[in-house]
Amino acid sequence: MQTTRAIGPFTVSAIGLGCMNLSHAYGVPPSPEQAERVLLAALDAGVTLFDTAALYGFGANEELVGRVLAPHRSRFTLASKGGLGGVRGEDGVLRRVIDGRPEALRQSCEDSLRRLKTDVIDLYYLHRWDKKVPIEDSVGAMADLVRQGKVRTLGLSEVSAATIRKAHAVHPITAVQTEYSLWTRNPEIAVLEACREIGASFVAFSPLARGFLTDTLHDVGALDAKDIRRPMPRFAPENYAANLKLLPAYKALATEVGCTPAQLALAWLLHKAPHIVPIPGTTQLDHLHEDIGAADVRLTPAQMAQLETLIGEHNVVGPRYAPQATGEVDTENFAPSAG
């Protein structure tokens, strides 16, 4: 299997790094020193795709990436996202706001460039489609950023095949980013094919099922109060207990293949299609090197089929998002199961 993959004009490592959890989302983030160690170790290990967003830590993640990686800017492809960020209310509290208006996207990009300490972002995504704004208007504003030399290529996140095609008619879409793993198969409905059709790469976030497929999360009751998994139905105690029953056979297959559970999950994605690039995130150096090692794992067609039988929409209990978050995305969904 190739150790690099194409995202538009860029050649990137087959496995990139999602930087979100160095600042955001899964409880207390690591110290700045530890976050710096992870970023530099990834770069030294050959990772050449780093993915951040204005939302992560309400700008703190971009500032971290800028501070640590700006001196090495020529060595990697930089991806960030706008259109979803924090707005401070009258009470002084920062709240997550989706805003796809052209003027908001222009300002978001300027702010990201400043935090990232760079003149240009290689791949700039619309983090969420603001359904109050036609996708053509948001992408039109982002196309202006390309023409101005502030952004090299454009991407979309958590959108449907129909939205991808509408956006692509305005300006070429280089990549689409959506959650994709053995336990979240929504992209298989239509988005993977739409990406293939228009020549876009598919960037898989949460490829390890937010920790489930690493076999390291056994007690969801121990999750930090601010961990974003707490309101997710699959991580509700009763549902998660049911989902844990899927792991023994999965771990047995990892042993048979000769890799760790995390590597098996990433290898499955790499074998699914050559236009898929997973971006696992981690705060630990050993997990970083483990993830990167998945590019060396080989799976047979029989093992691929077995994996898809072991874990999938047919037996995972609970939807991936709670109702509010479900309403914020535009991705196709499978019909609800009886589970």
Residues assigned a catalytic role: 56
Task: Say if CB 154 and CB 173 are below 8 A apart.
Answer: yes
Contact by Cβ (8 Å): 62, 134: no
User: Which of 164, 161, 69, 166 is closest to 122 using CA atoms?
Assistant: 69
Question: CB pairs under 8 A, 24+ apart, for 39-42?
Answer: 39/64, 39/65, 39/68, 39/69, 40/68, 41/285, 41/288, 41/289, 42/17, 42/288, 42/292
Question: Distance between CA 316 and CA 233 in Å, rounded?
Answer: 11
> For 235, how many CA atoms within 13 A lie in the half-sphere containing its CB?
23
Cα–Cα distance between 213 and 203 in angstroms, integer? 18
Please, which residues bridge with residue 11 across strands? Answer: 6
Q: What is the DSSP letter of 30?
A: P
Nearest to 8 by CA among 125, 160, 170: 125
In angstroms, the Cα distances linking 323 to 9, 172, 314, 320 are 37, 31, 20, 10
Tell which residue, 39, 20, 331, has the closest CA to residue 202. 331
Residue type at 17 in one-letter notation: L
Q: Which pair of tokens denotes residue 102?
A: 């052209």
Dihedral sign (CA 187, 189, 194, 199): positive
In DSSP terms, which residues pair with 205 in a beta bridge? 179
> Helix 247-257 vs helix 261-272: angle between axes, to the nearest 10 degrees?
80
Which value, in Å, is the radius of gyration of the alpha carbons in the chain? 19
